[in-house]
Amino acid sequence: MEPVYHRLPVVDAGGMELHLPICDIGPGRPRMCVVAGIHGDEPSPLVLVDRLVMALRDREMHGAVRVVAAANMPALLQRSRWSSWDEEDMNRIGDGDGGPAVTRRLAAAVVAACEGCTLAVNLHNFVMRTPLLAIQPPGQDRERRTRHDAYIGALDPHVVWVFGDGPDDVRTFGSSIDAAIERRGTDVLAVEMSDLPELDEPLLARGIAGLLRLAAHLGCIDDRERPGKRNRVYVRRRLVRAPGAGIFEPIAALGGQVAEDDVVGELIPLERPGARVPVRSPERGWLIQRLGRRFVRPGDMIFTVGRSV
């Protein structure tokens, strides 16, 4: 089945038209909406949704899947996390609250595009090398958690990042676009993956297979393949940042276990070649994300350790 491309108008100011590009594939109203491009510096999801639409073309479809591939076009064209037009983070303004800023209008359009679907999958990527990672948000009741667990089982991620249920976590999630979509009656599954330079074919294949199983779970396609029972790690994440400027040299293997004080990588300082600075794990856990060999500035993300929960 061929996809249908259309546009959801957002704003027309002084002859400048801004719209939300939408791709629908399959019969009837969409049951699943896959959103990419919320942040302009996260291009990997655009590759994943392209592969998803190509895969769905070859399937017999019983229900429609919607793809919003470029949710924040101004930020994507600027290759920036958010647009310089208004400096708003689309992931932290809910449904835009009726604001006149362009990013707020785009957020409202994304929420509207997801409305009526059973599930919205919000795709992101980290700058670090990251396995397929699903996020378990805070504040879910038992019924919502049961549905969310089923979505995670269908996606089959390597890692599930579990948020706590403390007031700060609930407050942070409550301001997100995911929470705004859920308030309209659509479940949301947030998914992270590697940045474009680190996005390899095995990770892409696992992501596409997971999205197809989610589409099957919602009755959009027949379920041709079921995953084997794989090890899945549920973790609370602890982020480690660069202690200075220089080149980060990774040492520890991604996905392996680390003990407290293990050396995960070394920093080659800008002004003192040969005087490498070891960067150690702050606790015991799994090395779930790690930067490749890259130039870093003080405070840049370099790795995360996940403590099993």
Averaged pLDDT for residues 62-75: 96
Are 49 and 193 in a shared domain?
Answer: yes
Task: Tell me which residue range forms the domain holding 257.
Answer: 236-308
pLDDT digits (tens, 9 = 90+) for 113-154: 999 999 999 999 999 999 999 999 998 999 999 999 999 999
Are 15 and 99 in a shared domain?
Answer: yes
> Is 276 within the bounds of a domain?
yes
Q: Is the pLDDT of residue 181 over 80?
A: yes
Look at residue 80 in the predicted model and tell me its pLDDT. 95
- Structure tokens belonging to residue 255: 């996905």
Are 171 and 301 in a shared domain?
Answer: no
pLDDT digits (tens, 9 = 90+) for 160-179: 999 988 898 898 899 999 99
Averaged pLDDT for residues 87-115: 95
Residue at a domain's end among 217, 245, 274: 217
Partners of 294 in beta bridges: 248
Long-range contacts of 16-22 (CB under 8 A, 24+ apart): 18/73, 18/74, 18/102, 18/105, 18/106, 20/68, 20/70, 20/71, 20/106, 20/109, 20/110, 20/113, 21/68, 21/69, 21/70, 21/73, 22/66, 22/67, 22/68, 22/113
pLDDT averaged over the chain?
A: 94
Are 146 and 286 in a shared domain?
Answer: no
Look at residue 201 in the predicted model and tell me its pLDDT. 94
For the chain, the distance separating the N- and C-terminal CA atoms, rounded to the nearest angstrom, is 42
Q: Is the pLDDT of residue 225 over 70?
A: no
Residue at a domain's end among 185, 217, 249: 217
> Is 222 within the bounds of a domain?
no
Q: Find out whether 305 and 288 touch, Cβ atoms under 8 Å.
A: yes
Partners of 93 in beta bridges: none
Are 104 and 161 in a shared domain?
Answer: yes
CATH, residue 164 = 3.40.630.10
Are 274 and 209 in a shared domain?
Answer: no
Are 88 and 155 in a shared domain?
Answer: yes
> Is 26 within the bounds of a domain?
yes
The burial class, CB within 10 Å (0-12 / 13-18 / 19+), for 117 is buried
Look at residue 66 in the predicted model and tell me its pLDDT. 98
pLDDT digits (tens, 9 = 90+) for 250-280: 999 999 999 999 999 999 999 888 999 999 9
How many CB atoms sit inside 10 A of residue 185's CB?
Answer: 11
> Is 225 within the bounds of a domain?
no
Query: Quick one: what percent of the chain has pLDDT higher than 90?
Result: 84
Residue 96 parent element (H or E) = none
Nearest to 74 by CA among 38, 111, 36: 38
Cα 148 versus chain centre, distance: 16
Are 246 and 203 in a shared domain?
Answer: no
CATH, residue 262 = 2.40.50.100
pLDDT digits (tens, 9 = 90+) for 43-57: 999 999 999 999 999
* Strand bridging mode 30-35 / 16-25: unpaired
> Is 277 within the bounds of a domain?
yes
Nearest to 215 by CA among 107, 56, 86, 36: 56
3-state secondary structure of 37: coil
- Structure tokens belonging to residue 34: 């896959």
> Is 228 within the bounds of a domain?
no
Look at residue 136 in the predicted model and tell me its pLDDT. 95
The burial class, CB within 10 Å (0-12 / 13-18 / 19+), for 43 is middle
How would residue 228 be classed by pLDDT, with cut points 50, 70 and 90? low
Q: Give the count of domains, the chain.
A: 2
Are 172 and 259 in a shared domain?
Answer: no
Are 21 and 148 in a shared domain?
Answer: yes
Residue at a domain's end among 217, 247, 281: 217
* Strand bridging mode 187-194 / 119-126: parallel
Are 61 and 123 in a shared domain?
Answer: yes
> Is 97 within the bounds of a domain?
yes
Q: pTM of whole model > 0.85? A: yes
Q: Find out whether 19 and 10 touch, Cβ atoms under 8 Å.
A: yes
CA distance 257 to 100: 48
